[in-house]
Amino acid sequence: MGDRANRGGATSRRWLTRNVAAIALLSLFSDMGHEMVTSIMPFFVVALGGGSGAVGAIEGVSDLFASLAKIWLPHYSERAGRRKPFLVAGYLLTALKGVMAFATIWAQVLVVRVVAWVGRGARGPIRDAMLADSVPIAYLGRAFGLHRAADTLGAVIGPLIALGLLAIHWGYRGIFLVALIPGGLTILIVLFMVREPSPRPGHNIGFRQSLISLPRDFLRFVAAAGVFGLGNFGPMLLILYARQSLVASLGVQRADSWAIGLYILFNIAYAAFSYPVGLLSEQTGKRPLLVLGYLLFALMCIGFLVSARHVIVLGPLFVLGGVYIAIVDTIESALAAELLPDHVRATGFGLLGTISGIGDLVSSLVVGLLWAHVSLASGFIYAAILAVLGAGLLTRWPRSQQ
């Protein structure tokens, strides 16, 4: 989009384009199905004979394969000059995750999740690039904030549906099958509502050359995000922590319900803060807010480390988790869009997603294994240290670059 700079002074109403609204709706239904599955998956894995190590392995290995898709497919969407066909394929694969209802061992859950995460990995950078292409540069913060808020509203509705189905004694497998419905809706939305933002010529630039051409400031940012990602473990481990903390006093069924309820609270905070954080970043700059997000994650880890295992104490910690991830997810995406030129935007988002995915693999595996074989405290300490190091790298960025 050659006129991005000229459109930076557009009125605030112009930022809410057709694609911004469609992508927000797409993400709402996608995350609704995703979180229906995520909220009960740790319990299903345990029921199939797995433990915290298996949960961490599923989370981490899935993220690894998603990372491989993130680094390659966005580049080919730029070479083809069209993003939408790749986006359709990504959402189609992701929608298949509900078939894990037919798993009989936890390794089969791993296989289904890997396939779904390949689609999730491929679609994310392409979707983010399309979103950045569809809004004036001055309003990237609010556009990505709205997207994260809609995405996370789905993350609230999904576990609520799962909780309601558990309350009427639906099994885990039935909930997985219900999750196929919002997955199917995402296919319809991406086919009939999302449009290519503007015609763009394809190119024959090789993958390596595209990486070399990425701006140095963007690469500095990716390095800091990568260090943070090495400690930023997935939320499935928090759900499992809550369940194991409460099962002795509440019993299995009530502990499951309260653990899902706490995860809903986490996502309510996530949804509530995403759009305001995006707006705030347009006034204060994006880097200081991202530093704050990294430090809040470290604070959350310390809180879980020292807190009593009671719902009244766990509640504020899950809220803090929602606030930190609202900041990190919104600002990392908006800052990447701001730093990347149009012709390598999807490739840049892919690199960021890949580095973050590698971090997710390492963090989920390490924290899960430390929890299982050393102590719960060691996992939280490891994660907090990496978050502080990531924040430190961001503060070393030149002051003129926010």
Dist. CA 251–CA 323, nearest whole Å:
29
Closest CA to 179 of 339, 34, 293: 34
CA 149 → CA 32, 155, 247, distances in Å? 12, 9, 31
Handedness of CA 354, 357, 361, 363 (dihedral sign): positive
Dist. CA 368–CA 57, nearest whole Å:
8
> Where do the domains of the chain lie, and which CATH numbers do they carry?
14-193+208-395 (1.20.1250.20)
**Residue 325 pLDDT:** 94
- Report CA 312 to chain centroid distance, whole Å: 27
**The residue type at 394:** L
Q: What is the tens place of the pLDDT at every residue in 178-225?
A: 999 999 999 999 999 998 876 565 556 777 788 888 999 999 999 999
**Residue 386 pLDDT:** 96
**The residue type at 41:** M
Report pTM.
0.78
Task: State the DSSP code for 83.
Answer: -
Burial of 248 (0-12, 13-18, 19+ CB in 10 A): exposed
Which positions of the chain have pLDDT values less than 70? 1-13, 198-204, 308, 397-402
Whose structure tokens read 């885990």? 172
SS3 state of residue 170: coil
Task: State the DSSP code for 293.
Answer: H
